[in-house]
């Protein structure tokens, strides 16, 4: 028969009284399995059997819990506050096809394309962007990972696309040379344990790891793609969406990396390429990108769930941070300006009070 949820209609005792002693958690009487209405109810249990009266709010209520706070004479419940995107400080130089990394309060935007390719770098402090050390050469269509004070950028154009660069919080230095030149890549991990995935040209499935000085080719993804994004660590990473020919064909595929091999992750709800992302393999966040532009989704390690949309839809953006506190910056909304920043706050449990006003 499968799982049958207990409710008023199937928790009726003899005589038409609803069982208030165990309410929704007790054993379902076989005689009530076929009940599909409460037509025979003659009385219901006291509210005190369903809603507890307590002197204060419970320390760790579960989502959906209801209680009566006798100290404040208020009927309360554990509810959910929706996720939100709020505007952050605008980039000093609007740009798309940039690289980024860091956190919502210590972010880094580097390179990209405005009306030309850029070597400009900006650091985010949670309120505004300030100039950082300039890149050795203008670069766009690339990816970055790490932190604001230990960042890694790799590939891209118009530089030789097998180069990488390292940032120490104030200046850039040359990193190791990749085994395969590429652009439109995704990346994740740290400056000394980084992973670069996908890219083109042609569309690539191969993967390289960086140890802080040199790149090593490792196990390829199952699905080749470009305009891809990555989150997480070298030992627990996630490659998200991207496109494959004929363009524009955005995908829903994700793949999980354990430091050695790739396995299929959950499909996203929206087909996406040129997207932004943040978080980890088990608490991921993706946002923006072609072609849905505003869509945001959260990942729990197996399933992607739709969340609150970006205010400004865009593709070719960058992102950083965590699922709880993400950040989206730059990108192409279809026409200038390309300088908008948005800060993400995930949904959270919160104690709410029933009101009658």
Per CB under 8 A, residues contacting other proteins are 81-82, 84-90, 96-97, 127-128, 141, 184, 200-201, 245-248, 274, 290-291, 294, 308-309, 311-313, 315-316, 332-337, 340-341, 345
Q: Please, which residue, 171 or 201, has the CB nearer to other proteins?
A: 201
d(CA 25, CA 11): 10
Q: Is the peptide bond before 170 cis (omega within 30 degrees of 0)?
A: no
Q: How far is the CB of 200 from other proteins (least distance, A)?
A: 7
Query: Cβ contacts of residue 3 below 8 Å, gap of 6+?
Result: none
Q: How far is the CB of 317 from other proteins (least distance, A)?
A: 11
Q: How far is the CB of 101 from other proteins (least distance, A)?
A: 20
43-48, Cβ contacts within 8 angstroms, sequence gap of 24 or more: 43/16, 43/17, 43/18, 44/8, 44/17, 44/18, 44/20, 45/17, 45/18, 45/19, 45/20, 45/21, 46/20
Q: Please, which residue, 12 or 159, has the CB nearer to other proteins?
A: 159
9: which DSSP letter? G
77: which DSSP letter? E
Q: Please, which residue, 32 or 291, has the CB nearer to other proteins?
A: 291
Q: Bridge-partner residues for 325, per DSSP?
A: 345
**Cα Rg, the chain, nearest whole Å:** 26
Q: How far is the CB of 304 from other proteins (least distance, A)?
A: 20
Q: Please, which residue, 152 or 310, has the CB nearer to other proteins?
A: 310
Closest among 104, 82, 85, 56 to 349, alpha carbons compared: 82
3-class secondary-structure state, position 301: coil
Token readout for 321 is 């941070």
Residue 187 CA to chain centroid, in angstroms?
15
Q: Please, which residue, 10 or 274, has the CB nearer to other proteins?
A: 274
Q: Please, which residue, 166 or 343, has the CB nearer to other proteins?
A: 343
Q: How far is the CB of 267 from other proteins (least distance, A)?
A: 22
Q: Please, which residue, 67 or 344, has the CB nearer to other proteins?
A: 344
Q: How far is the CB of 210 from other proteins (least distance, A)?
A: 24
Q: How far is the CB of 291 from other proteins (least distance, A)?
A: 8
Token readout for 35 is 């009940």
């Amino acid at each position: 028969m499968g799982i049958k949820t207990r409710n008023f209609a199937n928790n009726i005792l003899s005589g038409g009284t609803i069982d208030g002693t165990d309410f929704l958690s007790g054993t379902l009487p076989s005689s009530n399995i076929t009940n599909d209405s409460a037509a025979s109810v003659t009385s219901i249990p006291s509210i005190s059997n369903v809603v507890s009266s307590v002197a204060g709010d419970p320390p760790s209520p579960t989502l959906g819990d209801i209680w009566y706070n006798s100290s404040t004479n208020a009927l309360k419940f554990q509810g959910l506050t929706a996720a939100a995107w709020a505007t952050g400080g605008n980039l000093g130089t609007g740009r798309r096809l940039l690289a980024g990394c860091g956190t919502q309060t210590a972010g880094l935007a580097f390179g990209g394309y405005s009306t030309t390719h850029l070597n400009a770098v900006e650091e985010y402090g949670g309120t505004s962007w300030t100039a950082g050390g300039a890149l050795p050469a203008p670069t766009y269509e690339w990816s970055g990972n790490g932190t604001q004070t230990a960042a890694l950028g790799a590939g891209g154009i118009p530089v030789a696309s097998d180069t990488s660069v390292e940032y120490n919080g104030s200046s850039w230095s040359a990193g190791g040379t990749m085994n395969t030149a590429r652009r439109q890549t995704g990346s994740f991990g740290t400056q000394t344990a980084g992973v670069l995935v996908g890219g083109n040209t042609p569309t690539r499935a191969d993967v390289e790891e960086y140890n802080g000085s040199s790149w090593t080719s490792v196990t390829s993804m199952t699905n080749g793609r470009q305009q891809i994004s990555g989150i997480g660590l070298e030992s627990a990473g996630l490659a998200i969406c991207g496109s494959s020919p004929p363009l524009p064909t955005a995908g829903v595929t994700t793949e999980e990396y354990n430091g050695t091999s790739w396995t299929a992750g959950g499909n996203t709800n929206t087909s996406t390429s040129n997207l932004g992302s943040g978080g980890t393999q088990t608490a991921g966040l993706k946002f923006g990108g072609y072609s849905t532009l505003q869509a945001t989704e959260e990942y729990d390690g197996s399933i992607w769930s739709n969340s609150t949309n970006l205010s400004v839809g865009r593709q070719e953006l960058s992102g950083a941070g965590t699922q709880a506190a993400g950040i989206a910056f730059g990108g192409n909304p279809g026409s200038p300006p390309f300088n908008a920043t948005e800060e993400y706050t995930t949904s959270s449990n919160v104690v709410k009070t029933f009101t009658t006003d």
